[in-house]
Amino acid sequence: MPGIKRILWFIFALATSFSITAQSGWCDANADPSSLRYYRRVVPGEPKPIACDVLVYGGTPAGVTAAVEASRMDKKAVLLSFNRHVGGLTSGGLTATDTGDQETIGGLAREFYTRIGAIKDFRPSEAEALFLDMLEEAGVTVLFERCLESVTVEEGRLVSATMETGETFDAAVFIDATYEGDLMAAAGVSYRVGREPAGAYGESLAGQWQQVSWEDTYQFCRLPLSPYVEPGHPESGLLPEIASEPPGRPGEGDYKVQAYNFRMYLTDKEGSVPFPKPAGYDPGRYALLARFLNADPDIEWKLNYTVAPMTDGPVQMRNGDSNNAGSFSSDYIGGNYRWPDGTYEPGSFAELPAPRRGLSMPFQQLYKMREHIFQDHVAYQQGLMYFLANDSRVPDALQERVNRFGLDPREFQDTGHWPHQLYVREGRRMVSEYVMTQANCESKRTAQDSVGLASYPMDSHFCQRVVVEEKGVTTVRNEGGFGHRCSKPYPVSYRSMVPKREECTNLLVPVCLSASHAAYGSIRMEPVFMILGQSAGMAAALAMDEDIAVQDLAYAKLGKVLAEKGQCLFSALK
C-alpha cells in the first residue's frame, strides 16, 4: 500500500492539474476535463518566481530519470510535464519495449525494469505508477500541465523559463527532455528537422530511397495498385492518404519526418471496449486500403509484423501494446511534418542546409497547430480501426478477426481508453560539436565519452507515400522505412547531449540529442532515453557543484560516477 506521503502528494498533483484545466482558454472551457487532448491552454495567474537547482522540462522517461538522478545527488530538482502524465510513451502505450541488447541497460533504467518486474509487456498504468513512486521517493517536485511560453538567455546561459501559468523557473542547469526539443529551440540552440542527404555524413541510410533494407516490406505486396480514384485515370485525382508532392531522387534529403501513431493497448478478453467511431468519420479516407484488401485473394493478413511475400498486417492486433504493422496501417504517413517546429518546406536537396536556430512561431501558435495535428492523428487511427471492424469492403474473415479485439478497459481510463500520448518518433535534432551518425551505430567510429550504450537496429518508419512508376506501371509505394542492425552495442557521446559552447552553457538535451536521422533511428528507444536522462541529471549536478559550463565537465569524473551508479558505458561492448 502506498504511504500517506505519496497519497497526499498524488492528491495535490491531481488538484493542481485539474485546477489549471478549469481555467482553460481557447480549447473550450466547457470541454470534458477527461477529453483526449494534446494541449490545454491555461489562463495565467500572477507572475510567480520559483527557484531550483535543476529544471527538467518534459515528462518523458528521460525527464523522470534526469530529475530522479539530480535529486538523488542532493539537488533541488523540478520536473515539468506538458500534460497530466509522466512517462511519455512508456506510460502512453509503448510497453513492448524496444531493447536491443538488454545487457546494455543499467542504472535507473535497469532499476525501473527490475522494480516493475518485466522489461516488456507490462501495463502502461503500472509504468506511470512506478515513475510516480520513483519521483516521490527522490523528493522531486512534479508539476503537471506546464507549457513553456518563453525563456531568458543572457550571455549564452539560460537564466529562466516561463510557463503559461505565469510561473518563472530560475535554475542553475536546465534539461530539455521533450520529444520535440522545445526548450533547446527557445534557447537558440542549433537543430535540424528531417532527413540529411546521403553525402552529408556518408550514410547509406540517409536521404530518400535507401537500398539497405525494407525494399519489399509493407509495399502493398508489390501489387500494381492504381493511386487514382478511377484506376488508370490521373484526371480523377489521387486517392486519400497519397502525397501529391513528387518524391526526390535516391540519397536526396528533405524536411520529412518518420510517421507517428498511437500505441493502442488492446485485449481480446471479455469486456473489451469496441473501437470508437470518431467524430466526422469518413470511410472514403481508407479507399486505398479497401483497394489493397481486395486486390488479390492470395494475400495473407497476419495482424502482426511480417516480411514474407504476399503477407501484410494490415495492423498489429495482440493483447497489449499494438503497433503499426502494414502497408496502410496505424502510422499516419505524411500527417506530422509540421509537428516538430511548426514548419514544412516541400522539395528535396542534395546539399545539407544550414541548421535552424530559434522558434519559427510563438509557442501558443505552435501548440495550437500541434493540437490540430494530434486530433487529426486521433481521427485517422480511430477511423482506421472502425473501418476495419465495420466497413463492408473489409473481407469477412479479416473483419471477424479484427472484432475479436478492442481497447483494454483497464488502461487510459481518463481518455476513453485511447492512449494519451502520440508517438513522436522524431522531432528536432540538436546540432552540437559531436553528431552521432550511422558510422557510430556500425562501430566504425566510437565516442570515447560514453554516457550510455545503444544497440537497437537503426529503425525508421515511412516518411512518405508517393506515386511511382514500377515496371512501366504507375502505382503507389511507401518510402523512408528501414531497419538495419547494429553489429554490437555502441557508446553515445556526452558531447552529443550538450549544445555548442557559444549557444548555451547550462543546458543538456538527452532526447533530441545531436544525431543524424539514420543514427537517431537507433538511439530513439525508450530504454536509451532513460539511460541518457540519468546521465544528463548527473552531469547537471556535477556541473553545478563545480560552477562550470556543462561543456567543461571533465569526462573522467562524469564517467567514474556514472559507472559507480551502474550505468553501462563500455563494459557491455562485445
The enclosing domain of 85 has a CATH number of: 3.50.50.60
Beta bridge partners of 405: none
Residues 498-543: tens digit of each pLDDT: 999 999 999 999 999 999 999 999 999 999 999 999 999 999 999 9
Same domain, 245 and 306: yes
- 293 touches 394 (CB < 8 A): yes
Same domain, 246 and 389: yes
Determine the number of helices (DSSP H) and then strands (DSSP E) in the chain: 13, 26
**C-alpha triplet 144, 35, 78: angle, nearest 5°:** 5
Same domain, 65 and 120: yes
Same domain, 107 and 238: no
Q: In the prediction, which pLDDT does 141 show?
A: 98
Report yes or no on 433 lying in a domain: no
Report yes or no on 35 lying in a domain: no
Helix, strand, coil percentages for the chain (3-state, nearest 5): 30, 20, 50
Residue 10's domain comprises: 1-30
User: 25-29, 113-117, 513-517: which has the minimum mean pLDDT?
Assistant: 25-29
Q: What is the 8-class DSSP label of residue 545?
A: H
Which carries the bigger pLDDT value, residue 478 or residue 215? 478
Same domain, 364 and 228: yes
Same domain, 5 and 61: no
Strand spans (E) along 257-319: 264-267, 300-301, 311-312
Report yes or no on 475 lying in a domain: yes
Residues 159-202: tens digit of each pLDDT: 999 999 999 999 999 999 999 999 999 999 999 999 999 999 99
Same domain, 305 and 363: yes
Report yes or no on 298 lying in a domain: yes
Rounded distance between C-alpha atoms, residue 159 and residue 350, angstroms? 39
Q: Given phi > 0 = left and psi -120 to 50 = alpha, else beta, which region is 214? A: left
Handedness of CA 49, 129, 272, 319 (dihedral sign): positive
Which amino acid belongs to residue 120? K
Residues 271-305: tens digit of each pLDDT: 999 999 999 999 999 999 999 999 999 999 999 99
Backbone angles phi, psi at 479, to 5 degrees: -140, 145
Q: In the prediction, which pLDDT does 32 show?
A: 54
Same domain, 397 and 478: yes
Handedness of CA 87, 64, 45, 156 (dihedral sign): negative
pTM score of the predicted model? 0.94
Residue 344's pLDDT band (cuts 50, 70, 90): very high
Among 208, 255, 200, 248, smallest CA distance to 437 is for 200
Rounded distance between C-alpha atoms, residue 431 and residue 191, angstroms? 5
Q: In the prediction, which pLDDT does 193 show?
A: 98
- 159 touches 168 (CB < 8 A): no
Burial of 58 (0-12, 13-18, 19+ CB in 10 A): buried
Rounded distance between C-alpha atoms, residue 31 and residue 20, angstroms? 13
Same domain, 422 and 534: no
Rounded distance between C-alpha atoms, residue 332 and residue 336, angstroms? 8
Handedness of CA 537, 21, 33, 178 (dihedral sign): negative
Same domain, 16 and 55: no
Same domain, 468 and 519: no
Which amino acid belongs to residue 252? E
Angle of helix 107-116 relative to helix 124-138, nearest 10 degrees? Answer: 120
The domain total for the chain is: 3
Q: In the prediction, which pLDDT does 43 show?
A: 84
- 254 pLDDT exceeds 60? yes
Among 411, 429, 427, smallest CA distance to 419 is for 411
Residues 397-436: tens digit of each pLDDT: 999 999 999 999 999 999 999 999 999 999 999 999 999 9
Which amino acid belongs to residue 86? V
Q: In the prediction, which pLDDT does 571 show?
A: 61
- 15 pLDDT exceeds 60? no
Rounded distance between C-alpha atoms, residue 175 and residue 498, angstroms? 10
Same domain, 314 and 180: no
